[in-house]
Every structure is written in structure tokens, then in C-alpha cells.
Chain A
Amino acid sequence: METSLILVLLLAPFLGFLFNVFFGKAVGKSVSGIVGTLSVVVSFAVTLYFFLQVNQTGKPISVSLFDWISFRDFNVNFGILLDQLSLLWLLFVTGIGSLIHLYSIGYMHDDENMHKFFAYLNLFIFFMVTLVTGSNLLVMFIGWEGVGLCSYLLIGFWYKNTEYNNAAKKAFIMNRIGDLGFLIGIFIIASLYTTLDYGQLKELIVGGTNGGNTYWIGAACLALFIGACGKSAQIPLYTWLPDAMAGPTPVSALIHAATMVTAGIFMITRMNFLFDLAPQIQNIIAIVGAVTALVAATIGLVQNDIKKVLAYSTVSQLGLMFLALGLGAYEIAVFHVITHAFFKACLFLGSGSVIHALHGEQDMRKMGGLKKVMKITFVTFLISSLAISGIPPFSGFFSKDEILMTAFHSNIALWGIASLASIMTAFYMFRLLYLTFFKNFRGTEEQKHHLHESPGLITFPLIVLAILATVGGAISLPGNSWLNGYLEPVFTKVSHEAHHFGNTEYMLMGIAVIGGLIGIGIAYMKYIKQSQVPGEDSEITGFSKVLYNKYYVDEVYDFLFVKPLNALSRFFRDTIEPALSSLVYGFGRTANYIGTSGKTLQNGSIGFYLFGFVLGVAAILTYLFLAQ
């Protein structure tokens, strides 16, 4: 019963994928979309069933489907583990996934390749479910690679545009770098513990096996962290995520905001027992997270593409989650993942709704005044913006506040950086909101004429997500956290005795809220009071130009890696390859030359042959005499 239900959970999206690949074009757009959506809804329903069961019994469900690799004493099962952590992740992957599928039916309806879009989305959900539910690192790796593939396919969905294809390739290659790290981490763990199963690993590590070998454990953690960096867009591998906005907006919402990019956080949370043994790596994670949060937030301040702002905000928020991970506060990172999934999915879908209304326009300088026509989109967007800015009582406030509080208790510098990033977040989110929805419309007359609220299929997911973004914080209220209790079995040590709530905590909370309000206030002054509109690209000067050009990181990478690599390729193509081939050709040519010139010796004249013969005999005799 359980096994078959798990198979339903796992295979429903895959069957949806197969259906859409083979019959999607034949059955038409509506059926294709409905089948795609239903297959994810089925997964969601099964997940919900298991979630309620596990929540009640507290016992994880573990099923081994088949033996995959058996080599001496090293065994890998293709196993499924449904414990508190994976079920939580599944809930929002399939839940938000369903909503976004529904949204896509409305959003992608004019696209000729809609069946392909749903096929890819379903495949993505399948791999994401594999990633989350696998009972060992290798199964997770299958999902990990699979979601990378789907991300590539969906970023380059509009494949006729070369720029989009380049963005897809960039994402794929950046991810490959991380994947290599992940793989090396898996190898190290396999050689240290001869198992990859989470349960066995946890037992071994908690039992103290190899506890002295901190050097290798640290190396494994670092390698895994590099993998997480690639997938979750942290410095130095974050540049692919903003470019990934080339994909259709539902993809940005699902893959590049809510689910796939949180895979790195999931992995580190999964391996928390290992990371606990490597405090120096945890420090690195915390610092990388904090710096990423700040850097991405500063870039987000000046971007003018509505999706780019959201992309940098995603990178920044992921940075905050990594900060929490680095501080050992896994449950808080998970909490922020969940609330972030709600409000960021809502923001992306909202921006999609705006782009839909403007027929593909993404530049905020050409928007404005949409509040009047797109009421539902505006309200949901406002709620999500408040949530991401950390304004109570919206969900983002609780999760972000907990991260800040944890940071404050361990390192005040990290707290400062994170707080600064939060203020900036509030600023650029409201800059986005004001520029898009307030004042007068700045686009063309024709666009203005066509402005409309999006259809129900698009607004319904927005409403649901906005509600979740509002109340999502309830799962982990300060002092009375359902989430912490629920996740407790996943972690080895309860690192934080529930925060003792005193004056400091209330003060921090106050500072965070005031910071958020200051950010919003500055945005209000600039864009509502003074009615500023960001200038044309050529007018941007000074430091904002550096920010607008993303610190020239792409150019630096181009200079440091791409150009030398291209030069190396050219060197190999123009120098090494000709040299090698001329060597090989040389053998042939020499043989040929010897042949043609030797041919003339065989001139058919018997006298000549005899002369050669006698000469040869004479030479041999002479040699023999001389040799004696």
C-alpha cells in the first residue's frame, strides 16, 4: 500500500511528462495543460496524505524500491525516505508546483509549444520529487542533475532567441561546476563511511565513527557546499540565476525562486549531522551567505528589469538562508525557505501577470499606474512585498527576524550585514512596487489601450499564494514554534534552546521592522514624493553604474575564465592539433616517400639486380672480415 502510493507520488508527474511528450501536441493545449496540472495535483494529494500520517505518528516512512549498486561491502539502494524534512519540502514543491501549473495554463496559452512546456515542467517536478525523497545521496544526485537539465530546457524554452540559449548554457555550466563539487563530496563520504544512506550515515557519525578524521570531513563538507553554491546561486556561482530569467515567468517562479534553488539548502539541512562536525566550513557558509545577501541586494537596488530585481532578491534571500545554515540554525533556514517560496512565487507570478498585461514588456521604466487596472495583481504583489520586507504580521517577518536574531547572538558583524541587506530588500521591493503600480502609465498608447487584469487562471494562484504569504509565518511563531518541534527528529542536536525572549529580542525585532520601514520610506520619498523614474542606461553614472552592471562580475568572469579558456581552445585548435596531425601525417608521408623512391630500384634490369646482389655479398663479407 505504502509502496504503491509512493510510486504514485513519484511517477504521476513522470507519466504527465510522457503523456505531454507523446500526445501533447495531438490532444491540444487545454488537455495538455490539464493533464500536466492534474499529475502534479495527484502528487500533492499523496504528499498531503503522507504528511498527515507522519505528522501524527512521528515515524518516517522508508521504502527500498530496488538494489541499485552492489559492490563488495558498498551498497546503494534506490530507496525513498519520507521523513519530516522531505515531506515538508514535498508539500511546497508539489503544492506551489500545482498552483504554477495552473497559472501556466493561462500564461502560456498563446505559445505554440505549450505541450512541451508542460512536459518539461512535469519532468522537473518528477526530478525534484526524486531529489527530495531519495534515501541516499546518490538518488538525490539523480534528482539534482535532473532538475538542472529541466532548468536548462526551460530557460532556453524560447530557443529561437540566441541570448536565451546562452543564458540556458550559462546556467547549465555554472551548475556543472557545483555538481562536480557535490560529486566529489559524495565520493569522499562513500570512501569514509562506505555508505551513502542518510540513516546509516547519521548513525555512524553520531556514533563517532571516523570522528577523528576531521580533515576529510571538512573536505567533504566543503565539496558539498560548493555543490549547494552552484544550485542555490551563492557567490561565486550566482551569476547564472539572474540570466535564468530568460525563461518564461512561471519557470522563474517555480524553478528559480521557490523550489530548485532551495535544493542546496535542502542538501545541507539533510546532511546537518555532517556539517555539525565541521565548524570551520560552517563559518565559511555563514560568511558566503551574508556576503551574497548584501552583494545581491546592492545590485537589486538599481536594476530596471522587473524580473532581474526579483532574481537578485532571490539570490539575496538565499544568502540569508545560507547564513542561517552556517550558524547551525537549520530549522530557521527551512522556515525561511518555506515563507520565501510563498512570497517569492507570488511576486514572480505577479510580475508575470504584469508582463502578460503589457505583452512582454519587462522594463519598469515603461510601466506605472497599473494599480487601477490590475487590482488583484496589485494587492497580492503588495502583500508579498510587505512579506519579503519583513513587515509584521506577514510571514517573511518571522523567518527573517529569526535569522537576524540568530546572527546577532553569534556574530554581530554578520547581523549588521544581514540587516543592511534586509533594509535594501525593503527599498528595492517597494521601488519595484511604486514604479510598476503607482503614478501614471509610461508605456505606449497602444499598450495602455490593451491594459487588462489577467484571467482567473492567473489570479487564482496569486490569491492563494498571497494568503499563504500572509499567514505562513504561523508555522513557527516566536516562542511557540510548530516547525521546530516537527523538524526535531531530523536534527542531531537541538542547537538552539528556544530563544529566550527578553528585551534584546524585542529590541532586535523593533530594529528589523524599523529598518524595513526605513527602506520603504526611502523608496516612497524617491519614487512617489519626487516622482523619480530611473534614467536611461546611458545616463547612469558613478557607483550606480557599477551596481547597474552587477559589479562587472560577468565581465570579470569573462576575463578570468571564458577568455583564457577560449584562448586555450584556440591554442589547441591552431597549434597542438596541427602539430599532432602533422606528426601522424608525417609517418604516412615518410612511408609514402620511401615507397615511391624505393620503387625506382625495381627497374626490371637483371644486370642491375645482380650488381646489387654482388655488392651486397661483398659488403657482408667485408663486414665479417672486419668484425673478426
Chain B
Amino acid sequence: MQNILQEIGIENYIFLSALLFCVGVFGVLFRRNTIIMFMSIEIMLNAVNLLFVAFSTYHQDAQGQVFVFFSMAVAAAEVAVGLAILVSIFRNLSSIDIDNLKNLKG
């Protein structure tokens, strides 16, 4: 494990993670398709997971990896709920474009 970090420095993991996170953020901000937005959120989540794992290795501490397992399990559940909501939205509006979702207007 140690040698991986020696070959590729920790800062590269951090940059990659930040990059992935930003990709996720911009995806959420600029795409109108709900499924793609959903995927962008998953990318953000995984960027964080990656960071967790990288630091876990760096600190020689397994706790971070344990958290990642939890986080992935929760994410899986969340995906199920999220997709169910999407299906329900599609059934109601015959569309998954967020511009059509304006029923929450005050």
C-alpha cells in the first residue's frame, strides 16, 4: 500500500478528487436531465470516497475505509429511493426535465 502512495503522490489523489467533485457540481448545476444530475451527485459522493480512501492509506488507518463502506451502502439505499422518486415524477409529468418541476413555487 505504502508504495502506491510513493509512486503517485497524495496530492494527485486530492487533485483528482477535487476535479471529480467539481465535475459533479457543474453537472448538477448545468444539466437539466434529472438522471444526469443524479449521476453527478454520485460522482461527488465518490470523489469524497476516493479522498477518504487516499487519506486512510496515507495515515495508515483503516477507519476511513470503513467509513467508505458505510457511505457506499447508504448511497446504494439512497439511489434506490432517488430512482423511485424519479419514476414517480416521470409517471406524473411524462418528463424528467427539472424545468418542468415547478410545483414548489411559492
Contacts and interface: CB of A to CB of B under 8 A. Distances in A.
Interface in B52-106: 98-99, 101-106
Nearest to A599: B106
Nearest to B34: A606
A611 B101 CA distance: 15
B32 to A, nearest CB: 7
Interface in A593-628: 599, 601-607, 610-611, 614
B103 A607 contact: no
B8 interface: no
Given A599-B106, A604-B106, A610 B29 contact: yes
A603 B103 CA distance: 9
B23 interface: no
Contacts, number: 30
B29 A614 contact: yes
A607 B29 contact: yes
Interface residues of A, number: 11
B28 A610 contact: yes
A599 B103 CA distance: 14
Contacts of B104: 602, 604, 606
B105 A602 contact: yes
B98 A607 contact: yes
Nearest to A598: B106
Contacts of B32: 607
Query: For this complex, into which size category does the number of interface residues on chain B fall?
Result: 10 to 19
A605 B106 contact: no
A607 B99 contact: yes
Contact of B105 (A604, A610, A611): A604
Contacts of A604: 101-106
B28 A614 contact: yes
Nearest to A601: B106
Nearest to A600: B106
A608 to B, nearest CB: 10
B28 A602 contact: no
A601 B102 CA distance: 13
B25 interface: yes
Interface in B14-58: 25, 28-29, 32
Nearest to B101: A606
Contact of A603 (B29, B98, B105): B105
Interface of A: 599, 601-607, 610-611, 614
Given A605-B98, A614-B28, 15 more contacts: A601-B106, A602-B104, A602-B105, A603-B105, A604-B101, A604-B102, A604-B104, A604-B106, A605-B99, A605-B102, A607-B32, A607-B99, A610-B28, A614-B25, A614-B29
27 contacts: A599-B106, A601-B106, A602-B104, A602-B105, A602-B106, A603-B102, A603-B106, A604-B101, A604-B102, A604-B103, A604-B104, A604-B105, A604-B106, A605-B98, A605-B99, A605-B102, A606-B98, A607-B29, A607-B32, A607-B98, A607-B99, A610-B28, A610-B29, A611-B29, A614-B25, A614-B28, A614-B29
A-B pairs, 6 with minimum CB distance: A604-B105, A602-B106, A604-B102, A606-B98, A604-B104, A599-B106
